[in-house]
């Protein structure tokens, strides 16, 4: 479609190309040079005029570098167009949505101001960790859900009496929604974290299930894997047949991937909000639909 041009950031190049292809839009690639001190020199290859520009760039690790790239691309796009749709499938700092301990900065409120200041006129995110924090953003914003896409993948696997488990109470509504697509049941564990030490404990009572069922642990994101590993440890004694892990944002920092695989899980499934080996689910369809349906 001649009305759109897509700029793909270095963190989301594959997703950006899929979006451009489905919109039949021109694609502008990004060239990034990293200097010895860590600074990035960012170049948009090509120029356009009189069109809507879509900038696609997730801000996963390295979070700050990818965030600066996203803001820089948006700023450059705004020089070329009055309409810039920022597609940030994974938004870093979304967990920092309030002052948990005295003196802490609500960083996502700062990030929200930066997107406005850089020139974004619309913003698209996916399974944003804190829906309440969306209010910090002073540009029109759409928070998309990947639940149906992930659920469809598992529906095709034909699991045996699947149980969908949220590793904490926060994601229980999404786990319930996920389960409905599979005509399955869901539960949420009562995970609690010490804000000072970071230690995790599960306070859920001992649960009994029939043996031989398949288990899907479902969360919005996996970073260190602490919550998932604690949940696996808690549930493993229940003799499930296979244990799967599903998430929208497969961030996986440090040795988290190795630790989760070592725990005995069957498969890890994520979306391409974070591009890597677990990006089995493509988000481009729901993003394109939102762009086309969105009245500017």
Measured CA to CA, the distance from residue 226 to residue 142 in angstroms comes to 29
Q: Where in the sequence numbering do the catalytic residues fall?
A: 191
Question: In whole angstroms, how far apart are CA 153 and each of 157, 213, 216, 226?
Answer: 7, 18, 12, 24
Give the strand pairing for 26-28 and 141-144: unpaired
- Per-residue tokens: 242: 């296979």
10 Å Cβ neighbour count for 289? Answer: 12
Task: Supply φ then ψ for residue 163, to 5 degrees.
Answer: -115, 125
10 Å Cβ neighbour count for 93? Answer: 21
- Per-residue tokens: 53: 């520009």
């Amino acid at each position: 479609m001649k009305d759109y041009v897509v700029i793909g950031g270095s963190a989301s190049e594959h997703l950006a190309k899929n979006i451009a292809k489905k919109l039949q839009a021109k694609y502008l690639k990004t060239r990034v040079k990293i200097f010895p001190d860590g600074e990035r020199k960012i170049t948009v290859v090509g120029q356009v005029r009189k069109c809507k520009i879509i900038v696609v760039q997730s801000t996963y690790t390295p979070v700050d570098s990818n965030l600066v790239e996203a803001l820089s691309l948006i700023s450059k796009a705004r020089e070329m167009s009055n309409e810039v749709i920022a597609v940030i499938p994974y938004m870093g700092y979304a967990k920092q949505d309030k002052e948990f301990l005295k003196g802490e900065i609500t960083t996502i409120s700062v990030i929200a101001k930066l997107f406005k200041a850089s020139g974004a006129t619309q913003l698209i995110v996916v399974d944003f960790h804190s829906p309440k924090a969306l209010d910090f953003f002073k540009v029109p914003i759409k928070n998309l859900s990947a639940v149906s896409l992930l659920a469809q993948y598992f529906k095709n696997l034909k699991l045996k009496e699947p149980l969908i488990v949220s590793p904490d109470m926060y994601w229980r509504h999404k786990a319930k929604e996920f389960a409905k697509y599979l005509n399955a049941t869901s539960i949420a564990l009562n995970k609690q974290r010490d804000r000072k030490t970071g230690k995790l404990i599960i306070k859920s009572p001992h649960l009994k299930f029939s043996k031989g069922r398949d288990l899907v642990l479902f969360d919005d994101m996996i970073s260190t894997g602490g919550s998932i590993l604690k949940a696996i440890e808690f549930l493993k004694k229940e003799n499930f047949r296979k244990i799967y892990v599903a998430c929208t944002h497969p961030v996986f920092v440090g040795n988290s991937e190795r630790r989760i695989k070592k725990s005995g899980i069957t498969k890890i499934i994520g979306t391409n909000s974070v591009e890597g080996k677990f990006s089995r689910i493509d988000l481009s369809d729901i993003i394109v639909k939102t762009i086309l349906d969105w009245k500017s």
